[in-house]
Chains A and B, each alone.
Chain A
Amino acid sequence: MSVNKLSTEESYKTLNKIETDLLRPMTHHKGLELWILFLVLFFIIGGYAYFIQLRDGLGVTAMRDYTSWGMYIGNFVFFVAASLIGMFISSVLGLLKIKWITPITRIAEMIALAFAMWAGIVIVIDMGRPDRLLNVFLHGRFQSPILWDVTVVSTYVAISFLLLFLPLIPDAAVIRRRLPGLPKWQMKIYDLLYLGWEARPGQYLIIKKSMRILAILIIPVALAIHTVTSWLFASTLRAGWDTAIFGPYFVSGAFVAGVAAVIIAMYFFRYNYKLGDYITDFHFNRMGQVLVLVSAIYIYFNLNEYFVPAYKMRIAEKVHLVEMFTGHWSTLFWFTQIICLVIPAFLLIFKKMRRPSIMLWLSVLVLLGAWLKRFLIVVPVQQHPYLPIQNVPDSFHHYIPTGIEITLTILPIVGVLLIITIIAKLFPVISVWEVAHEKGVDESIIK
């Protein structure tokens, strides 16, 4: 694959530098304990909030009979969306043989796995009877889109897990050699993971072949998880959800969220882990272009989703759309659509804007918008059913999330950060062997 092979002596020198750079964050981590302590502290608070919800029922949230899906479901859609990025970077771009993605594939896979794992937990938080979770398997019926979702999300978690851990095999061997002083429990993980790696050509062949098969396999599964998630809404008869483009609309939106998340993570690792030689301005420039591309596709789907029904203004759609465009939700709607999607995408067209520091903030906006958009897809539609909402308390007409609800929405996000933190602590966030390959290092010495 590499263009110019290095001599043996040069190979050792280059590999040594790569190993030193990429493994350094594993032993040097100022403030990591404090960060983990903060995350764990939030977990305790979140745990208490969940205890209250279990004890008193979902009534502790702002959800009621009409708006019966709230922030939790919006959060779930956001999580599934963000998890799609693993498939996009390592499969779509990888199979297209786009070289520059090498140093960011692991970051994308970490994000994908963390979000996909927590997506399942987000759904459990939303359940009225989490104690009956097993009923889904005992009495599951396959005509319910929920069953499809359970099936594809768990498959996606499994494949993402393999796609993250297969390329870790050679790296585990490298860690064993380079960092023998690590704590015993940590070394046990690498002993388990390196699977007797000896950098033989046959081993390389197996690992590359398996990664390729997984990269192909994950494409339909990833498309399925978000398409099926969109069908949770599109399969109902409600005006605003009852549209045919929900599948591709959700998938295109998922790439926007995922690319923004990867850019934020790239920025963080570049500066905190001092990986400026690997995650370069060039990579930011490229990711900025990718963000423009996926945003443009998403804007196109938005146009279809909102303009077409708005042109006709069928009564049930009209009530919903007017609330979005000029009514109760208009501020949030236009903030999400213009400030968090159109403007960032437009700015990133210009090369001057595709610099790490600017891209960080634009990506934060885009990611925030991605979350708000899921909220706007889930909540407002339910407040306008076909038949009027009457003879119920005033709280049934509105939806203003409660403190417990907000806490339990943030909890899984903290969970994602915790998983990413742990993986980034135990393993190099950039694949050592793949970067070494690219620089022309002799394959047989990476062990």
Chain B
Amino acid sequence: MKEDKNLSDSPQQDENNARRGFLKKLGLVVGAGAAVTAGAVYLGYDHEKKKNPDGKKVRVLTADGQLMEVSEAELIQAENQTADEESELQRRGREGLPGKHWVMVIDLSKCRNARMCMAACQGAHHLRPEQHHINVLRMQDAEHTEPYFMPKPCFHCDNPPCTKVCPVDATFKRQDGIVLIDNQRCIGCRFCIAACPYSARVFNWIEPLKSEEDKDLPYDVELNVPQRKGTISKCLFSADCLRKGELPYCVRACPNGVYYFGDLNEDTVTNGTTRETVRFSELIRKNGGYTVLEELGTKPQVYYLPPKNRLFPYQYEGKTTIDPDDSRVGGGRG
């Protein structure tokens, strides 16, 4: 039995010896590694010191918007700047802002057709006067109901009919909910115009307004500038502004507090005029918010607050009534 015990002890001892041996070796390796690293760091430091005796650093903004420090001597002029810039704008433009779900609330009780939103939008996107990313419509729902003004941007549907039909992925929905256009990809088939039930899309039928001035600008997919002949354009929720932490052009331009804009994930929206930030869910709940033609199943991300307790009575071209032909579905005069 005893012998048996001794016999049984010996493997344990062996194991202990093995562990000790391993630790020893590990220490050796780590020690050697540390020495090499220290050496390398010193050499690197020495090298940098020799190259740049003042050690002067400059701050640069990387293409994805991060602030970095680089020693001045390391700076080289980038080759083919426009192409690089464009591909970077494309990359981040298609990716979108992580963790966001942009949403707009339009308070119809406050709109008096000032059209500052339309002007700001057309200016930012270099549009012709008849091209509307946002259009203030004169609406009347039924024969005996009160007319009202309804600003109509793209609704950035969560189930967008337009992106579905695009044959080349030139219009797409990003992770933050924005439906964008890539006018470097668009083939001009106009299927998306046919598919959009809200008439949110416009086309560059002729040479765009500022095509001459813009021709050297790198194409920003988040601004859709430069506009291009033979391609689509539409409201982009001012994706370029959102990236900079600003509210969209139309939202900021409104003098009457019509627009709220924000992030559904945070459940907050900010009024573009008063800069007041409120709970999105509460704003919608308390004011009977709704979306337009939601029965189509498109899941619009632009909400409306009904035109009740109006600040301004309806008036257009001196009239307080509306021509039914002008406001009815289709609004067609033939």
Contact = CB atoms under 8 A, between A and B. Distances in A.
Contact of A59 (B166, B206, B292, B331): B206
A386 B329 contact: yes
Interface stretch (B69-77, B83-91, B194-202): B194-202
A391 B132 contact: yes
Contacts of A138: 168
A397 B113 CA distance: 22
B332 A129 contact: no
Contacts of A388: 137-139, 326-331
B70 to A, nearest CB: 36
A276 interface: no
Contacts of B132: 391-392
A269 interface: no
A447 interface: no
A385 B199 contact: yes
Contacts of B230: 57-58, 127-129
Nearest to A314: B329
Given A133-B187, A141-B167, A57 B330 contact: no
Given A59-B206, A236-B161, A69 B334 contact: no
A139 interface: yes
Interface in A100-151: 123, 126-130, 132-133, 135-136, 138-141, 143-147, 150
Given A128-B188, A388-B330, A57 B197 contact: no
A146 B131 CA distance: 26
Nearest to A123: B189
B231 interface: yes
Contacts of A130: 187
Interface string A330-347: 000000000000000000
Interface string B124-143: 00000011100111110000
Contact of A128 (B169, B203, B328): B203
B296 A237 contact: yes
Contact of B189 (A126, A323, A385, A393): A126
Contact of A58 (B118, B199, B203): B203
Given A139-B168, A141-B168, A127 B161 contact: no
Residue in B118, B139, B166, B189 whose Cβ sees the most chain A Cβ within 10 Å: B189
A57 B152 contact: no
B204 interface: yes
B205 A385 contact: no
B119 interface: no
Contact of B190 (A59, A69, A143, A315): A69
Contacts of B231: 128-129
B165 interface: yes
A189 B201 CA distance: 50
A56 interface: yes
Given A140-B167, A320-B330, A388-B138, A65 B194 contact: no
Q: How large is the interface on B (under 10, 10 to 19, 20 to 34, 35 or more residues)?
A: 35 or more
A385 B293 CA distance: 12
A146 B332 contact: no
A144 B165 contact: yes
Given A320-B330, A388-B331, A382 B165 contact: no
A328 interface: yes
Residue in B201, B207, B331 whose Cβ sees the most chain A Cβ within 10 Å: B331
A204 interface: no
A383 interface: yes
B101 interface: no
Contacts of A323: 332, 334
A396 B199 contact: no
A405 to B, nearest CB: 12
A135 B328 contact: no
Nearest to B194: A236
Interface in B162-193: 164-170, 185-191, 193
B328 A65 contact: no
Contacts of A384: 329-332
Contacts of B170: 135, 139
B192 to A, nearest CB: 9
A384 B195 CA distance: 13
B334 A328 contact: yes
A195 interface: no
B329 A389 contact: no
B229 interface: yes
Contacts of A176: none
A68 interface: yes
Contact of B136 (A56, A391, A397): A391
Nearest to B152: A387
A126 B187 CA distance: 10
A437 to B, nearest CB: 46
A140 B167 CA distance: 6
A66 interface: yes
Interface string A52-80: 00001111000111101100000000000
A128 B130 CA distance: 19
B135 to A, nearest CB: 6
A127 B136 contact: no
Contact of B185 (A64, A128, A139, A147): A139
A232 interface: yes
Contact of B191 (A146, A315, A383, A386): A146
A64 B130 CA distance: 10
B333 interface: yes
B295 to A, nearest CB: 10
A398 interface: yes
A196 interface: no
B332 A389 contact: yes
Contacts of A355: none
A384 B327 CA distance: 11
A393 B204 CA distance: 15
Contacts of A136: 167-168, 187
21 contacts: A56-B207, A64-B205, A65-B202, A68-B193, A69-B193, A133-B187, A144-B164, A145-B191, A146-B165, A150-B167, A235-B165, A236-B161, A236-B195, A237-B197, A238-B194, A316-B330, A385-B197, A387-B198, A388-B328, A391-B132, A398-B334
Interface of A: 56-59, 63-66, 68-69, 123, 126-130, 132-133, 135-136, 138-141, 143-147, 150, 232-233, 235-238, 315-316, 319-320, 323, 327-328, 382-393, 396-398
Given A57-B204, A128-B229, A388-B331, 18 more contacts: A57-B207, A64-B203, A68-B194, A127-B187, A128-B189, A135-B185, A139-B168, A140-B167, A141-B167, A146-B189, A147-B167, A319-B328, A383-B330, A384-B329, A385-B331, A386-B197, A388-B139, A390-B138
Interface of B: 118, 130-132, 135-139, 152, 161, 164-170, 185-191, 193-195, 197-199, 201-207, 229-231, 292-293, 296, 298, 326-334
Q: Which 4 A-B pairs have the closest CB atoms?
A: A128-B188, A388-B331, A384-B330, A128-B230
